[in-house]
Each structure stands twice: as C-alpha cells, then as structure tokens.
C-alpha cells in the first residue's frame, strides 16, 4: 500500500489593506502536497478580516474554509455549507466577494 504524501503548508500570507482597498486584511492559509507536477490542496482557510465592519467571528467579514470536515462560508458571523468545485474556484469567489464588499463600503466616499 502506498504511503500517503506528506502535507505541507503551500501558502501562508497576510496582506494588510489600505483604506482605499477596504482596510483590514486578507489572509490565505493553504496546505497540501505536490504530486508529480500537480499541486493538491487538502486544507484551506481564506478570509477577509476587518474589525470596523464586523464585530463577531474575530472580525471575519468573509471567509471560506474546509475545517470541521466540510466546506463552508463565513459571512459576518454566520456559517453556511457551500458546494465545493475546486480550490481555485473558491479562491476566485473570495476575491470577487471581497471586491464587492469594498465597492459597497466605499460607495459615495471620497
């Protein structure tokens, strides 16, 4: 029987955002392994954190992760299960939703 690949951290980044980019921070934590030329993501935690917008869930305005054995979305303290296609689609969804939040919170502001 083949030994399972060793899981490693693939990405661990935090970006502090300027006010014009929504303020707060974007956090990316991704674990997995390399299999030949392919990267396999096994765990992820993606979040937009801004305590001036959200006062619950440690300031997590928006997030996606697969902790607790299921894929789910965090939104302003609420957690809902989501259908998972692949990690890349989930990352894209976070980025799109974050940009929408920035547009809405900065609408009408100079």
Angstrom CA distances, 28 to 13, 45, 87, 101, 108, stand at 5, 6, 12, 18, 30
Q: Strand pairing partners for 108?
A: none
Residue-level pLDDT at 110: 46
What lies within 8 Å, CB to CB, of 38 at 6+ separation is none
Does the global pTM surpass 0.85?
A: yes
Residue-level pLDDT at 109: 55
Closest CA to 84 of 23, 43, 55: 43
Residue-level pLDDT at 104: 87
User: Distance between CA 85 and CA 87 in Å, rounded?
Assistant: 7
pLDDT digits (tens, 9 = 90+) for 42-55: 999 999 999 999 99
In the chain, which stretches have pLDDT less than 50? Answer: 108, 110
């Amino acid at each position: 029987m083949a030994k399972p690949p060793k899981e490693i951290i693939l990405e661990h980044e935090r970006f502090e955002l300027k006010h014009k980019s929504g303020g707060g921070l974007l956090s990316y934590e991704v674990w997995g392994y390399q299999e030949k030329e392919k990267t396999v993501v096994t765990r992820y935690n993606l979040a937009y954190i801004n305590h001036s917008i959200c006062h619950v869930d440690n300031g997590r305005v928006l997030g996606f992760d697969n902790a607790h054995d299921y894929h789910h979305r965090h939104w302003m303290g609420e957690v809902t299960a989501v259908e998972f296609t692949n990690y890349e689609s989930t990352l894209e969804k976070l980025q799109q939703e974050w940009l929408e939040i920035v547009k809405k919170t900065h609408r009408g502001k100079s």
